[in-house]
Amino acid sequence: MNEFAKALCSNTKNERIFEKYDFFGSLIGEWDILWKDHLEDHEPRHVKGEWIFSRVLDGTAVQDLFIVPSRAERLRDKQPDAEYGTTLRIFNPKTMAWDIFYGCMGEAIRLTACKVGEEIILTENITEKMRYVFFEITTDAFLWKKEQMNGQGEWKVVAQVTAKRR
């Protein structure tokens, strides 16, 4: 298994990814997160989690582990809908966008990511009615939101993440 991890992970970005398309490079590392959902409720749910990003596949991709609740928090407060998933983002030089797969138990989603202004927007490929947005990205923090399109064609935030670098 050690050879698998060594062959998978990369410490550097592949030179075929131009700097302006290295959208996810600033996210590489380990983050403590606060997940918020049930936003329409009087008291939305808050769950501590962790999000870990690494370059993989000879530096041509960025993969993450999304763990909510965090490994430590699961010992005290395992949520019935806990998520332990991974996202694989592979740069596509033909489209200058990122082809993405997210998977966890019971779910598999394909997305495409582009940068719009300072936001990184990942749009679900089949219905295009779900998107995920990274924004207010700094060296030590970022915000993320999950949005669904309502019947009027407007985006509604259904979950949020606040991330702080470890």
pLDDT of residue 128: 92
- Residue 161: pLDDT above 70? yes
Q: What is the CATH number of the domain that holds 35?
A: 2.40.128.20
Spatial CA neighbour of 98 closest among 60, 153, 55: 60
User: 19-64: per-residue pLDDT in tens?
Assistant: 999 999 999 999 999 999 998 888 999 999 999 999 999 999 999 9
pLDDT of residue 1: 67
Q: Tell me how many domains the chain contains.
A: 1
DSSP the chain: -HHHHHHHEESS--TTS-GGG-TTGGG-EEEEEEEEE-TTSSS-EEEEEEEEEEEETTTTEEEEEEEES-HHHHTT---TT-EEEEEEEEEETTTTEEEEEEEETTEEEEEEEEEETTEEEEEETTT--EEEEEES--SSEEEEEEEEE-TTS-EEEEEEEEEEE-
Quote the pTM value. 0.94
Residue 102's domain comprises: 2-165
- Residue 80: pLDDT above 90? no
Cα angle value 165/97/112 (rounded, 5°): 80
User: What mean pLDDT do residues 95-120 have?
Assistant: 96
